Each structure stands twice: as structure tokens, then as C-alpha cells.
Structure 1
Amino acid sequence: MPFCRLTRSAAAGAAAAMLAVLTISLALPARAQQPATSTSTPDGEVFALKLPAAATPAANEASGTVQFIGTATVLIRYQGFTILTDPNFLHKGDHVHLGYGISAERLTNPAIELDKLPAIDFVVLSHMHEDHFDKLVQEKLPKDTPIVTTKESAASLEKLGFTRGIGLGKWDQVEVEKGESRMRLTAVPGRHGKAGMQALLPSVMGSMLDFGPNKAAPTYRMYISGDTLVYDDLKNIPQRFPGIDLALLHLGGTRILGVFKVTMDGKDGVQLLQIIRPQHAIPIHYNDYDVFKSPLADFAREAKAAGLEEQVSYLAHGETYSFKPRTR
């Protein structure tokens, strides 16, 4: 979630609005946890998404790909599924608007145009900000596209006319079926800002993608961080989902008004790697807007210092990472 520099008067107004909400949020008592509903399981609610079968069965495909399009937008293709994350297809010089009179300018172009994408089975949307779901996407993406996201974002999508939003709470799952292919997506913890900032920011989810029919032994396990900071709840992820094959990390070190950090910087990204312990990682969301404060070089330096450089692949816009299931 990038934020641009403001004029002095605009910045003062935005800061005042933010600080007012922040003051109120800090003064409110903590909410008690709600009891699970009758439709919940110990791991959350379970939803079903059945997709039309492909003409050629692909459940036994031996390899998959992750193509970096830009920002947090990647195209994942594996076992017959084609999945798009956080679609942002604006161009260099375009702006996104993020509330409180704040906007940000894009510095790069997407590697693929929106209208040149292959057929998409579903979208994974970490949260509802325009740098993750821009005005072009809101207008041009078919309204019947399945979109897996937070409950808050699903409500916003419905107001925009999207008819197949699936809103998840923490640990909720979507069982996806496409012909012979099976996968599960689980919403895992994510938090866009530190405690007290949440009243200013949308709810965020990380995502765990487990491919294959066997819940206990997926053929491939992929983690997408979403726009999160490092906090204690993330330690629950590897406990519930050991053996992560690939992690996609949202970096950038974005700060609101130059003060409040709302996405991971390079040091945070390495700390998350040490918590999640994936076999491999790809950094994304690091250089596309004018207010990212932590360049990719920060992460590369920290990863090398931690002895993790061999576990990281750095993709330029348009480049593709290929993977195969490992022997477990």
C-alpha cells in the first residue's frame, strides 16, 4: 500500500484525520473474541469453489510457474489452475488513491496488459487498496470472476458489482475443484500496520495455497504474505503449515506520511523468512510506486548477511520462476 508525498496543507489535513482516528482507536477497549458459529470448524469456516473442468486434464502436471507482473501481481499456473494475485495493471505515471487525500504514482509498467492475460480461474486479493485492485481492474475484470479475499474486501467488491467474492476470516479455507485438480486456499494472519493503526487501514490476509488432493500431504505448498508487518501471530503459520515450498514476500517498507511503516522492509522480510522457513522465496511489491522506502537491495543485503541468499530468486518484471514438487 504506497502513499505519496503531499503538499504541506494536504499533508497536515491527512495527518490530522489519521491521528484523530488513531487516538480514538487507542482509546477503545479491546474487542472480546466472538464464539465460533455452528458452521465453523476448529480451523475456521470451509467454503467450496467448483470451476469448469479444462478440456485437457492437468491434475498431474509435473511443474508449475510463477510469473511476476509487477507490484504484488503474479500469475501462478500449476496443476491446471491459473491464479492471479492482487491485480494492478496501471502504467508508469498513473496514480492510485488510498483515502485521506493520499495518492501514489506508479513508476513502472506491468509486464502483461490486463486484456492480454490468459483465462483466470480465480483471483487472490490480500486487501482492498487501489495498488492491489486498481480502477482499471475494477472496470475491466469480468464481474463474475471468483475473488478470494477478506470479508471486508468482499463487501467492497459486492458494491462494485462483483458477484463471486468469497470473504474469509483468519484460518478460513476455500476448497477449489477443477475437473480432476484439487487445491485449498487458507487465509493466514496478516496485519498492515502496528496495533492502533488498524482503524486507518483495511484488513489484510496472507494466503496459503496447498495443491493436490491430499490435505495432509500437498504436492506443493505456497505462501503469499500480503501487505503485512512482522508480528507474533505469524509464528502460528509454520506450526499449522510446516514444509512451505515457496514464499512470495510483499516488501517495499512503505510508510504513511513518512512515519508509520505499513509494509515490510528488507530486514523485516528476512525476519519473516526465518519465521516461515520456506524452501525458497521470491520478493515482490518493492519498486513500483514512488513511496516505497526500502529498495530490493536492502532485502538482498539482509538475506546475504543471514546466509539465506541461496534460497531467494529475484525476478524482474515479466520473468518466470519454475518449480516442481519436492520429495517429502
Structure 2
Amino acid sequence: MNASITFIGNATTLLRLGQFTLLTDPAFGPAGSRVYLGYGAWTKRLRDPVLDALQGAAIDGMVLSHLHGDHFDAAARKWIEPTLPILTTPAASRKLRRKRYLAVRGLPTWECFEWSRDRQRLRVTAVPGKHGPGLVDRLLPDVMGSVVELEVDGRLALRLYITGDTLVHDALEQIPRRFGEMDAMLIHLGGTRLAGMLLTMDDRQGVDVAQLIRPALTVPIHFDDYQVMKSPLADFVTRAERQGLTGITPIERGGTLHLPLRDGIDGGHAEQRNAM
């Protein structure tokens, strides 16, 4: 049994976890396309997603951290079937239902959704996220992180934390308290700024979260696809190394990284292969 992440671009990944396949935050527009962020704000995409990596994928469901244009854009909406199960925030689910997405499920914080197949079970639990500082957060879309757990014969094989577009805030401390050890983390970085306000983690906040969660493997995503992202990935990697953090593993667009399975579960090692 194997578990892996394929990085498509921005926050879009393909997670192959045992017998299950999840798509996260699909944004399929090419470089040069523009997406709407609300309140009259737009941003331009700078890098192409690697859509070839999606060919042949039989997707069981989609995890959408929140409803912003750089996480679910017009190109992706044309591609996603209205019957595909979508796990997202309650606010986003209400909007998507009005757009005729028939299988969307809004997860309040700490609620979960499960798939079962043969001897395996995949569970996605919504965890806290905060997209903006102070009262500004109320003006932005609700956002959730996700903890994804793969079980085989009732035994935990993998626990993965996807941060979503969150800033550091006190509620994040509840995640390691409730779940314990994380095998891997997909961390949304980029230091997104609008009107001078920080809306996603920069290198400093990213290191703070990595120190809090202490996963065996940390995979940075969401860091340089759009003009509003101001904090380079290299700054995060350098700061993490200076703080003595290990397991920081960047992944190229189109590349696949095998995720570590727990002892006693048959699987691959944490090694990366990049698309040709």
C-alpha cells in the first residue's frame, strides 16, 4: 500500500492514500489568468498548473479549504463534475449548492466525513483556520484546515494535516492536542498581502506552525503562484533550517512525493519523483 502527494500548483494537490484519491483546492487557470478575491480585488496567476498530472485519476472527493478564486477558479468549475463529493466549510457549501454542486458537504470545525473501501477507511476532519488578522477575518471567507487519516484494518496508517489558508492563532494549538503525532503536513505559505494586510502565513508564521505541529514531513505549497504572494519559499526553508526543523521537503510542480506510512503498514518511503 502506498500514499503520495502530487503537486499540481498553488494549493492544488492530488492525494493518493491507499485505495482513495482526493483533490485539494483546484485552481486550473493558466499563467496570466486573473481570479477574483472579493471586495474589488483581483490577482494574476504567474505560473501554470501541471494539469497533465491529473490524467487518468479516479477522484473520490475534493477538499476545499475555502471559496476564493485561487482555490476554486472558473477553469476548475468547468472540470469538476457536479456529483463529485466536496468537503468544505458550511458557508462555502451553501454557495456551492446554489451553483448546483449536488454532493457538497459543509463541515463545522471538528466534524468529519469518512469513506470506507474493503479493509481501508479514510477520514477527513475539519480543523480551525483564520484567514485574516483581527476583525478583518470576518470580512473574508470562512476557511478550514483538514486532518486526513487513513486506517487499515482499524489501525492508523497515516495522519496528514492540511493547514488551509490560515494565519497563526490560538485555536491551532488544539490540533496537536486532539490528534497527537502528525506524519505529514501540507502547509499553505506565500505571505499573501492585500492592502498591506497579511492573509496567509509568511516564512515566520510558517516556522511557528511547523514548530507547533512537528510533523515528520512538511511539504510547502501555496507560495508563489499569484501576484499577491510576497514571501518566497526560500525564506521559509532557510528560517526552518536555522530553527533546527527537519523534514522540510519542497516539491516541484508535477512532482510526486511518497508519504511515510506508520510502522507495520506496508508502503513506500518518503522519496520524490518529478514529472518528466
- TM-score, reference length from structure 1: 0.78
2:182 to 238, 244, 248: 244
Moved more, 90-99 or 315-324: 315-324
Structure 1 CA distance for aligned equivalents of residues 160 and 22 of structure 2: 12
Greater Rg by CA? 1
2:186 paired with 1:256: no
Higher strand share: 2
Deviation at 1:79, TM superposition (A): 1.0
1:86 to 19, 22, 25: 25
Q: Deviations over 1:128-179 (max 9, x none)?
A: 0110000112223100000000000111111111000010111001121234
In the alignment, what sits opposite 1:283? 220
Structure 2 CA distance for aligned equivalents of residues 289 and 182 of structure 1: 35
In the alignment, what sits opposite 1:314? 250
2:69 paired with 1:130: yes
Letter in 2 for 1:222: L
Deviation at 1:294, TM superposition (A): 0.2
Give aligned-pair identity as a percent: 42
Is the 8 Å Cα contact of residues 138 and 160 (structure 1) preserved in structure 2? Answer: no
Letter in 1 for 2:194: I
In the alignment, what sits opposite 1:14? none
The change in CA–CA distance for 1:152 and 1:113 in structure 2 (over 3 A counts) is: farther
2:42 paired with 1:103: yes
Letter in 2 for 1:325: L
In the alignment, what sits opposite 1:165? 104
In the alignment, what sits opposite 1:302? 239
Structure 2 CA distance for aligned equivalents of residues 93 and 71 of structure 1: 14
Structure 1 CA distance for aligned equivalents of residues 42 and 56 of structure 2: 27
The change in CA–CA distance for 1:315 and 1:187 in structure 2 (over 3 A counts) is: same
**Matching of residues 212-231 of structure 1 within 5 Å:** 212-213=151-152, 217-231=155-169
Moved more, 191-200 or 78-87: 191-200
Is the 8 Å Cα contact of residues 47 and 225 (structure 2) preserved in structure 1? Answer: yes
Structure 1 CA distance for aligned equivalents of residues 54 and 74 of structure 2: 14
Deviation at 1:262, TM superposition (A): 0.5
**Matching of residues 173-184 of structure 1 within 5 Å:** 173-184=112-123
In the alignment, what sits opposite 1:187? 126
The change in CA–CA distance for 1:138 and 1:277 in structure 2 (over 3 A counts) is: same
Q: Deviations over 1:220-279 (max 9, x none)?
A: 00000000000110000000011100000000001112x111100011111001111111
1:325 to 249, 261, 264: 261
Q: Secondary structure in 2 aligned to 1:67?
A: strand
Structure 2 CA distance for aligned equivalents of residues 307 and 115 of structure 1: 35
Give the gaps of 5 or more residues in structure 1: 1-60
Is the 8 Å Cα contact of residues 89 and 114 (structure 1) preserved in structure 2? Answer: no
Structure 2 CA distance for aligned equivalents of residues 196 and 117 of structure 1: 44
Is the 8 Å Cα contact of residues 249 and 283 (structure 1) preserved in structure 2? Answer: yes
Matched residues, number: 264
Structure 2 CA distance for aligned equivalents of residues 145 and 221 of structure 1: 23
Is the 8 Å Cα contact of residues 183 and 213 (structure 1) preserved in structure 2? Answer: no
Deviation at 1:307, TM superposition (A): 0.9
Structure 2 CA distance for aligned equivalents of residues 176 and 263 of structure 1: 30
In the alignment, what sits opposite 1:28? none
Structure 2 CA distance for aligned equivalents of residues 246 and 301 of structure 1: 19
Moved more, 84-93 or 178-187: 178-187
Is the 8 Å Cα contact of residues 191 and 203 (structure 1) preserved in structure 2? Answer: yes
Deviation at 1:199, TM superposition (A): 2.4
- TM-score, reference length from structure 2: 0.92
The change in CA–CA distance for 1:261 and 1:276 in structure 2 (over 3 A counts) is: same
Letter in 2 for 1:231: H
Is the 8 Å Cα contact of residues 151 and 158 (structure 2) preserved in structure 1? Answer: yes
Structure 2 CA distance for aligned equivalents of residues 325 and 198 of structure 1: 36
Is the 8 Å Cα contact of residues 88 and 106 (structure 2) preserved in structure 1? Answer: yes
The change in CA–CA distance for 1:155 and 1:266 in structure 2 (over 3 A counts) is: same
1:73 to 12, 15, 29: 12
Give the gaps of 5 or more residues in structure 2: 265-276
Over aligned residues, Cα RMSD in angstroms?
1.5
Is the 8 Å Cα contact of residues 70 and 110 (structure 1) preserved in structure 2? Answer: yes
